[in-house]
């Protein structure tokens, strides 16, 4: 430990002995290397995993909607001219829907509940006394997928600060029952403190999706950090932050 302290003091002395312009350039270069390393080792793998899971959820939702439409057609036909074969087909359709619902529930297993997410993120942060909590707020709840009246699913690509595709609303759209609950939290601390905090979040027993991490150096080593994350739920209810 003493060797590390001595080495740190030597490096600090060399750094402080340089002109202000050189110190600014060196600090900027170091921060760029650190941030690029974090993006390659932490953020990019998480974003790729999120994209795969979102694609699987969307595919399941489309299958459920297709079977629901088939069930509606069969149910109407049953009222017009019911018979044994038609009842069997309806029964098979219901079983298919139940199977898809079970698969969807399995995909969502382990995701943190919207009502828990804000409190847990803040709790993990406040356990690190060297970091300063600034604010936390809920983002607008959005349906993951909607169905339009022309029998086509309609999705829209989210802005660049989001990692997934989300659905949009209109008067003619019918929402499919998976909702995206997001929050934005701001805090301040050093880069190493922030990296440790993000690692602690990854080790939580619950899962959630990362949308964005904004890192703004205020006065080295102090920085302002904003994170945006979301989870999924079958209910539209607000997170309650």
CATH architecture observed for domain 111-233: 2-Layer Sandwich (3.30)
The pLDDT score that the predictor gives to residue 153 is: 43
Cα 169 to Cα 240: distance, rounded to the nearest angstrom? 22
Question: How confident is the model at residue 159, as a pLDDT?
Answer: 33
Residues of the chain with pLDDT under 70: 1-2, 4-5, 8-9, 11-12, 14-15, 23, 77-82, 129, 145-176, 238-241
pLDDT value of position 96: 84
Tokens 């919207």 found at: 114
So what's the pLDDT on residue 222?
86
198 torsion bin: left (phi>0), alpha (psi -120 to 50), beta (else): alpha
Q: Summarize pLDDT for 109-149 with one digit per residue, the tens.
A: 788 888 889 999 999 988 876 889 999 999 999 887 655 54
Q: Residue 82's pLDDT is what?
A: 62
* Intra-chain end-to-end CA distance of the chain, in Å: 42
């Amino acid at each position: 430990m003493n060797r590390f302290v001595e080495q740190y003091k030597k490096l600090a002395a060399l750094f402080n002995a340089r002109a202000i312009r050189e110190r600014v350039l060196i600090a900027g270069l170091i921060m760029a290397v650190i941030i690029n390393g974090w993006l390659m080792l932490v953020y990019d793998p998480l974003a790729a995993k999120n994209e795969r899971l979102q694609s699987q959820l969307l595919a399941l939702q489309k299958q459920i909607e297709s079977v629901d439409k088939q069930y509606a057609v069969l149910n109407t036909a049953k009222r017009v001219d019911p018979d044994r074969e038609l009842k069997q087909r309806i029964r098979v359709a219901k079983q298919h829907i139940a199977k898809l619902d079970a698969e969807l529930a399995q995909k969502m297993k382990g995701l943190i509940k919207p009502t828990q997410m804000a409190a847990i993120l803040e709790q993990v942060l406040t356990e690190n006394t060297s970091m300063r909590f600034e604010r936390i707020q809920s983002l607008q709840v959005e349906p993951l997928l909607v169905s339009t009246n022309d029998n086509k699913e309609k999705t829209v690509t989210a802005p660049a600060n989001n990692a997934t595709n989300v659905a949009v609303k209109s008067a003619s759209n019918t929402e499919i029952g998976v909702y995206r609950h997001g929050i934005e939290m701001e805090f301040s601390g050093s880069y190493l403190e922030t990296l440790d905090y993000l690692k602690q979040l990854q080790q939580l027993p619950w899962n959630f999706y990362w949308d964005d991490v904004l890192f703004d150096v205020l006065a080295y080593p102090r920085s302002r950090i904003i994170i945006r994350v979301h989870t999924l739920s079958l209910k539209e209810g607000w997170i309650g932050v």
